[in-house]
Chains A and B, each alone.
Chain A
Amino acid sequence: MTTPSAHPATLAESRTSGGQRLITLSGSLDAAGTADLWHQALRLAAKPGQGLTVDAAGISYLDGSGMAMLLEMRRLAEARGSSFAITGLQERFAKLFGMFTPADLQPPPAQTIKPSLPEEIGDKAYHFLDDIFSQIVFVGQFATALAAAAANPRRVRWGDAIRVAETAGANAFPIIVLIGFLMGLIMAFQSAMPLKQFGAEIFVANLLGLSLLRELGPLVTAIILAGRSGSAFAAEIGTMTVNEEINALITMGLDPVRFLVVTRVLAAMAMTPLLTIFFNLAGLVGGALVMLSLGFPLVAYLNQVHASVHMGDLFGGLFKATVFGLLVCAIGCQRGLRTKGGASAVGDSTTSAVVSGIILIAVADGIFAVTFYVLGL
């Protein structure tokens, strides 16, 4: 038995009696041996000349890389119009080598033509409109499924909804409280410094109370929800799509929107206001800490908050949070259902879920700001 690397590969050039070029290859032409000889062999093969013969009698081992080298030599020689022959190649190698021709090494003609700029713009615009269209379709499907759930609450899979409420809601509690506390602390500290110049530190309480309850509480909670749960829904449902589990649901006659989306969105809508309350509370605690360190008694801070903030601010914020929760989770599920292809498509869906979720939050927040202003809330 010959071990492949036992014989180093060698190459020698000479002339036959007829004046033809002769290249003598010997030794083991495996990946290592071929690598040593590749450039030299191809340079020799590409030399102009009448005929080229390769004496392969000394080759003790020949694998794919060695065969590729022989084929390349043949291709180069024939491209220059000279004849090419291999002599003495062992029968066991010749059999395999005979399965290939130099044409097998040609890369196929490029299938994809690089689109022109207008084509690319058109393509992007088409996909953008297609995406909007599919979101409108999804809104319709979701509304139908939600109406069906309201008409017949027993058909909703409440077990699933409670499981989702736990992962999206209860498990998010620590991070919500931590971020709320830190944001309250930082905002109070940052605003206390300039206000101190005017001796108006006590108004930190107004600033904190209003901005947390009306704006930051719902907003930051929803963004955390988009990052934690919107992405998780997109990944979970996206993987189900890739694994044909969604197809299985459809052919069972079960509507994936009713089955998967309604439970998740209901759970998220129930959880977001609760998380927002905890966020607000943690933020106010953070602010209190700063005020105490500035020498204000706790009761002064509490009274100031109480006087500046109304129930309308709290409930307006909670309403916003509910809508944000709906948007973030619905878009996560929609992205999951739209997943096409393999593992990388699941990654794309997850990214898209978070990005679209945050955009939707921002747009909805703008609409709320205008609406609340017009309504005088």
Chain B
Amino acid sequence: MSQSPPVIEVKNLTMGYDGKVVLKDVSFAVDQAEVFVILGGSGCGKSTLLKHMIGLYAPMAGSVLIHGQDIVTAQGRKRRDILRSFGVMYQSGALFGSMTLLENMTLPLEEFTALPKSAREDVARMKLKLVGLSGSEHKIPSELSGGMQKRAAIARAMALDPGILFLDEPQAGLDPVTSAGLDELILSLSANLGITFVIVTHELPSIFAVAHRVIMLDAKKRGIVAEGAPDWLRDHSDNPLVRQFFNRKAEHLQ
């Protein structure tokens, strides 16, 4: 895509827990403004890989570089700066249950910017508008439906306008219309603002709509089994697993 160095580099990452390796020696890079999708069956380590990329889990070996800085070894201010450069939407939403949506949105702004209260709230309202949640700002998360919580979580991840957004299953549980709206939002942010997306998802329509490049993980191989543009993989991949996935064929009926 571009000539500039990759925004995220995962180098020889090996991860697991309790001495059991889940993914072994995984390497890939994500470019600026790319929409990068991580695919794979349930339980193959997609979400775990994402949590390693955002520095929540320490890998067994290897490194994750964000803007050239290793998030695994960074400490103190350096680590905080790396964390500030991206936003994360968790699978469960992870909105703060004791705060209203507006407070959820303004919290990162309050902690990390010198913006006055009215400016913070304006920014928060704009982000809520982007995900179609105008008017819900004074509700607490438990008063919202699951899909609305997801959208609010995406809005919160965008609150500080980070250059990278990690989304863990953003479309799961959304209706097709909202899901398509979200796809448009992702494409527009990546094209107009150069935001890089790393998305974990299963939703085929969304993958074909937004992904520039996908990697597919497999639990048995404990690594990446395919990498490329989704259309190309669907039509040309010589890996039966990949073709099955993109053509929605059930395994046990083969």
Which residues of A does B touch, CB under 8 Å?
A: 99, 239-240, 243-245, 247-248, 250-254
Contacts and interface: CB of A to CB of B under 8 A. Distances in A.
A245 B94 contact: yes
Instruction: State which size class the interface on B falls in.
Output: 20 to 34
A248 B107 CA distance: 12
B97 A251 contact: no
A252 B112 CA distance: 9
Given A244-B91, A247-B51, A254-B108, 5 more contacts: A99-B252, A240-B97, A243-B97, A245-B95, A253-B79
Interface in B72-102: 79-80, 83-84, 86, 88, 90-92, 94-97
Interface in B143-193: none
Contacts of B112: 253
Interface of B: 51, 54-56, 79-80, 83-84, 86, 88, 90-92, 94-97, 107-108, 111-112, 252
5 contacts: A244-B94, A248-B94, A248-B95, A253-B79, A253-B111
A244 to B, nearest CB: 4
Contacts of A252: 83, 107-108, 111
A145 B79 CA distance: 17
Contacts of A99: 252
By Cβ-Cβ distance, the 9 closest A-B pairs, closest first, are A244-B94, A253-B83, A248-B94, A253-B80, A244-B90, A251-B88, A245-B94, A251-B54, A252-B108
A315 to B, nearest CB: 36
A240 B90 CA distance: 13
Contact of B56 (A239, A243, A247): A247
Contacts of A251: 54-56, 83, 86, 88
A248 B90 contact: yes
A243 B84 contact: no
Main secondary structure of the interface of B (DSSP, over half): mixed
A250 B108 CA distance: 11
Contacts of B84: 253
B220 to A, nearest CB: 17
A248 B51 CA distance: 11
B180 to A, nearest CB: 26
Contacts of A240: 96-97
Contacts of A239: 97
A262 to B, nearest CB: 14
Contacts of B55: 251
Nearest to B55: A251
A28 to B, nearest CB: 27
Contacts of B111: 252-254
A219 to B, nearest CB: 31
Nearest to B80: A253
Nearest to A99: B252
Q: Quick one: which of A99, A240, A250, A253 has the most chain B CB within 10 A?
A: A253
Given A252-B108, A253-B83, A253-B84, A245 B252 contact: no
Contacts of A248: 88, 90, 94-96
B56 A245 contact: no
Contacts of A250: 56, 83
